[in-house]
Amino acid sequence: MTTIQGYFDPRFEAVRDLFAEQQSDEQARGAALCVTIGGETVLDLWQGVMDKDNQRVWEQDTLVNVFSCTKPLGAVALLQQVEAGRIELDAPLASVWPEFAQAGKESVTLRHALSHRSGLSGIAAPLPPEALFEWDTMAAALAAQKPWWTPGEAHGYAPVTYAWLLGEPLARLSDERPGAYINQNVCQPLGMDFYVGVPDSELDRIASLSRLRNQYGDQYARALFAAMGRPDELSFKAFGNPSSMMTSSNRREWQQAEIFSANGTGNARSMARFWQLLAHGGSLDGVRLLDDELVSLMQREHSHGMDRTLLAPTRFGLGVMLDQDYEGGGFGMGARAFGHPGAGGSLGFCDPDAQVGFGYVTNTMGPYVLMDPRALVLSRAIYAVLRQSD
């Protein structure tokens, strides 16, 4: 067993102990936790190993795929285009992506896409595995796809197509590749050690992913996994077409692609930094990410109810999840918290009332649909300390 490393404010020693205790699970491999309050870092911890053979210790600069925790970075990139006046939230995506205006999608707007109301959660036509790494192939398939429901009338999470649904308009609006734009205009200004498309020089720092065995998640996870076994259902198409979505997370092709719906690679420190700024309305200490009115709009409820993809009740703002209506579905803090979990257990969010920025990452993937209990117990413990000090 490796020793927990990093820094903690003595007020949060109980949280550090909980984090250390998680490493005692015989299946645990590696994880990191970073929490900011206001402009101050109060926890910056890491522990475990980064490889499947338990030979490489998790280091301060270890990177890991955080899956859908990347989505809010892509959302911010699009909202920066709104702020710059290049597109309006209620403008049709086809206004910048003319090929998209087919199969009943003429009225699909940027707001629909950001809030998972576009009806484009998956691609129905079977795609070969290699299509996932061919940007133009995926963009063309999505442009040809008929919505699974009337856009705007329901919502369903878009786990992977989100990258093209937003990324193709982003590329046309910014004249840059989506990953390059996010790296240059979201990550670098904040000093984030985070990539959408990892350069060759950083590949050796990436932790290898594995899955927890003999764990089955909650009722919603079980329903989703059952649906993912039925090839004609939306959930299967959303998560399993192309099939390489489910098998590529440790491959170089995945790590270096620019699929900002799912393949961002970074660390807990970088995620906490991103959410620290959003907790403060988009700017802090002279660093500005987004206009505060747009940050407020991000956290306004746009979708609420049964999710047609996840088969669970969900709430979304613009590019972010909101606190959910059932036990275990929220962020473990205040009612205005917002952020995004990633497949397998990673979590990034903020609580604007408590001014908390939170980042948790792991390379031992759990089976939960929304919040993983490992991250949730830590956030609840942090909130308990904050309430005691009020």
How is 315-338 classified by DSSP, letter by letter? EE-SSSEEPPSSTTSS-SS-TT-E
Tell me the CATH number at 201. Answer: 3.40.710.10
Helix, strand or coil for residue 361?
A: strand
Which residues are within 8 A (CB) of 387 and not within 5 positions of it... i.e. 6 or more apart? none
Residue ranges making up the domain that contains 336 = 5-72+181-389
Q: 47 pairs with which residues across the strands? A: 31
- Inside any domain, residue 161: no
Angle between helices 162-174 and 71-83 in degrees, nearest 10: 30
pLDDT digit string (tens) for the chain, length 390 residues:
458 999 999 999 999 999 999 988 888 999 999 999 998 999 999 999 999 888 999 999 999 999 999 999 999 999 999 999 999 999 999 999 999 999 999 999 999 999 999 999 999 999 999 999 999 999 999 999 999 999 999 999 999 999 999 999 999 999 999 999 999 999 999 999 999 999 999 999 999 999 988 666 678 878 888 888 899 999 999 999 999 998 999 999 999 999 999 999 999 999 999 999 999 999 999 999 999 999 999 999 999 999 999 999 999 999 999 998 777 789 999 999 999 999 999 999 999 999 999 999 999 999 887 899 999 999 999 999 999 987
Q: What dihedral angle (degrees, nearest 10) is formed by the CA atoms of 111, 322, 18, 369?
A: -70
| Cβ atoms < 10 Å from Cβ of 19 | 25
> What per-residue confidence (pLDDT) applies to 1?
45
DSSP 8-state symbol, 195: B
Cα-only R_g, the chain: 19
How many angstroms separate the CA atoms of 62 and 81, rounded?
32
- Inside any domain, residue 303: yes
Q: Are the C-beta atoms of 262 and 159 separated by less than 8 Å?
A: yes
Total number of domains constituting the chain = 1
- Inside any domain, residue 306: yes
Q: 358 pairs with which residues across the strands? A: 35, 349
Distance of CA 175 to the CA centre of its chain: 24
- Inside any domain, residue 29: yes
- Inside any domain, residue 357: yes
Helix, strand or coil for residue 36?
A: strand
- Inside any domain, residue 82: no
Strands annotated E in the chain: 5-8, 30-37, 40-48, 64-65, 210-211, 265-266, 283-284, 287-288, 303-306, 313-316, 321-322, 338-341, 347-351, 356-362, 364-365
Give the DSSP H or E segment for 77. helix 71-83
Place of tokens 């285009």: 81
> What per-residue confidence (pLDDT) applies to 162?
98
Q: 64 pairs with which residues across the strands? A: 266
How many angstroms separate the CA atoms of 370 and 73, rounded?
18
| Cβ atoms < 10 Å from Cβ of 346 | 30
Which has the closest alpha carbon to 76: 369, 385, 256, 338?
338
How many angstroms separate the CA atoms of 244 and 128, rounded?
8
Which residues are within 8 A (CB) of 86 and not within 5 positions of it... i.e. 6 or more apart? 173
Place of tokens 């609420």: 304
- Inside any domain, residue 219: yes
How many angstroms separate the CA atoms of 105 and 119, rounded?
9
